[in-house]
Amino acid sequence: MVFSSNIFLFLFLPAYLLAYYLTPCRYRSWTILVGSCVFYGWWRVDFLFLFAGVMLWNYLVGRMIDTCGSRSPAARHWVTAGIAVDLMILGYFKYAGFGISAINQVLASLGLQPLGSLEIILPVGISFYIFQAISYLVDVYRGDTAATRRFIDFAAFIALFPQLIAGPVLRYKDLAGQFRSRTHSVEKFSEGSGRFMQGFIRKVFIADTLAPLVDHCFRLAHPTTADAWLGSLAYGVQLYFDFSGYSDMAIGLGLMMGFRFVENFNQPYFSHSITEFWQRWHISLSTWLRDYLYIPLGGNRGGMARTCRNLFVTMLLGGFWHGANWTFLAWGGWHGLWLALERATGNAVRESRRIRPMRLAWTNLLILVGWVLFRSDDLGRAGTMLGAMFSFDLSGLSLVFREEITGLQVATLVLACGVILVSGIWQRLDHAMLPGLVRRGAVRYASALFLPPLFWLSILKLSAQSYSPFLYFQF
C-alpha cells in the first residue's frame, strides 16, 4: 500500500483515522501499532515477523542499557550487541547478495568456481526502521533519553506508518514527549491535511509525469549531449518532488494524528555549496549520519586531515546505505569528496539570504553529476551518461528520444523548475521587504485557493495512470 493509491485514500486512511479518534487517548498507541502493521503487511505479511523481532530486540536491549546506567561498561556491551544484531539483519537482507556477487567477480577473474547466488527479497523500509532502532539504543546509552517502560509506545514509534517506508528518519528522544501527551485540534488536523495534499500533488502531478521521460533517457544506448542533460535534469527534479512529496505527506499524516515530525527538505537546490546542500536535503538522514557516524568517527577533532577523512567515510557509508550497488558508493564518495574539499579550502558556504548565482550554478552542476551516478543501473551506464553530457555534441535531441517524450512532460519539467526557482527566491526575501504576517497570509490564501482543486485533479490523474511507487521505497 502506498499513499498515492485509491486504496489508501478511500479505504485505509478514513478507517484508520476513524478508529484512531474513537480510541481513548491512553490506548492510541495500540491503534497506531495495529494500523501500521496492516499498512506494512499489505506488501508481505511474513515480514511482520522480522518487524516484530526488531521491535522486541531493541526494546529489551534498551531496557538493559538503562538498567546498567548510561555510558557504563556493561551498557557499552549491551549497546554494541544491540547495534551488531541490527546491522547483521540489515546486512543480510540488503547486502548479502551484493557481497556474494562481488566475491564471484573476483573468483571468476581468478578462474575459480563461483559461489551460489542468493535470492533475497528486501523488506520494504528496512533501512529506515533499523536506523531508528539504532538511534534509540545510542541515545539511551548516551543518556539523551530514558528507555521507555511501555513496549507499546516503542513498538508504535518503530511502526508509525506515515514515516515507516521512506522517512523522515525519526528519533525516539524527539517523540517521547509526544507519545506521553500530544495535542489534537482542528487547526492541527487542517494543517496536516494541507501538507498531505501538497505532497500528493508533488508526487502525482510532477514526479509521476516526469518518470517516463527519465526512464527512457537512462535506457538510451547512445544518448546525445542534449538527451543526457535533459534526462539528468528531469531526474533531479523527479527525485526531489517524489521524495519531498512523500515527506510532506508523512508530516501531514503525523499532524493529523497529533505528532509533529522534523522537516526533511528546505529548498535544497538553492544551496551555495555541497555542505549547504546536505543541510537542506534529506535533513533527517544527514543529521543522523552526523550524530551517529561522523561524530563517533572523530568529527572535526584531530586536525583537518582527519576531519576530511571522517567527512568522506561518512558520505561513502551514507551512499552505501541507499543500496547495494557500486553506483551508490560512487555517489556517496562524490559527495564526500566535495564536502572534504570545501572544508579543507574554507569554501563550505552555509545558509545565507544572499543569492550568489555562480555558486548556485556550480553547486547544482555537482549535484546533477551525482544524480547521474545515483540513478544509473551500473557504473557503465553512468559513464555513458556522463560521457554524453560532457562531449558537447551539437546534434540536439536524438530522434529516438524525441519520439518518446511528450509536450506535457517538457512543460511539467519547466513548471517544476519554475516552482523550485520561485520557492527558493521567496524563502530568501528580506523580512523587512515582506513582513512575516504578509508572507504567512499569502501562503495560507494560496493554499486554500489552489490546493483542493489540484488535489482532486491529482486523484483523477492517479486513477488514470498505472502504479507508480515512491522512488525511496527501494532503499
Q: What is the pLDDT of residue 443?
A: 59
The more confidently predicted of residues 451 and 200 is 200
pLDDT for 469 equals: 63
Supply the DSSP string of 187-240, one letter for each residue: HHHHHHHHHHHHHHHIIIIIIHHHHHHHHHHTT-SS--HHHHHHHHHHHHHHHH
Length, in residues, of the chain: 475
Q: Which one of 282, 322, 335, 431 is the catalytic residue? A: 322
User: Per-residue pLDDT tens for 241-285?
Assistant: 999 999 999 999 999 999 999 999 999 999 999 999 999 999 999
Range 189-192 contact pairs with CB under 8 angstroms and sequence separation of 24 or more: 189/255, 189/256, 191/252, 191/255, 192/251, 192/252, 192/253, 192/254, 192/255, 192/256, 192/257
Which H helix or E strand runs over 252? helix 225-256
Q: Which residue has the cell 538511534?
A: 135
**Residue 461 burial (C-beta neighbours within 10 Å; 0-12, 13-18, 19+):** middle
Annotated catalytic residue 322? yes
Q: In this predicted model, which residue has the larger pLDDT, 445 or 294? A: 294
Residue 463, pLDDT score: 77
Percent of the chain predicted with pLDDT > 90: 65
Give pLDDT tens digits for 107-164. 777 777 777 777 788 888 899 999 999 999 999 999 999 999 999 999 999 999 998 8
Cα within 13 Å of Cα(123), Cβ side: 23
**Which of 55-64, 202-211, 442-451 shows the lowest mean pLDDT across its residues?**
442-451
3-state SS, residue 294: helix
Residue 44 in this model has a pLDDT that exceeds 90: no
Confidence of residue 441 (pLDDT cuts 50, 70, 90): low
| For residue 363, pLDDT beyond 90 | yes
Local confidence band at 450 (pLDDT 50, 70, 90 cut-offs)? confident
Domain borders along the chain are 6-182, 188-272+352-474
Q: What is the overall mean pLDDT for the chain?
A: 89
pLDDT at 4: 79
Q: Any idea which of 192-201, 392-401, 466-475 has the lowest mean pLDDT?
A: 466-475
Name residue 455's amino acid. Answer: F
User: How far is Cα of residue 155 from the mean position of the Cα atoms in its chain?
Assistant: 22
User: Residue 67: what residue type?
Assistant: T
| CB-based contacts of 257, cutoff 8 Å, min separation 6 | 20, 32, 162, 192
Question: CB under 8 Å to 153, separation ≥6 — which residues?
Answer: 29, 179
- Cell representation of residue 329: 558508493
pLDDT above 70 covers a percentage of the chain that reads: 93
Q: For residue 182, give the nearest of 157, 165, 164, 159 by alpha carbon.
A: 157
66-114 pLDDT, tens digit per residue, is: 999 999 999 999 999 999 999 999 999 988 888 888 887 887 777 777 7
| The C-alpha cell that represents 162 in the structure block | 506515515
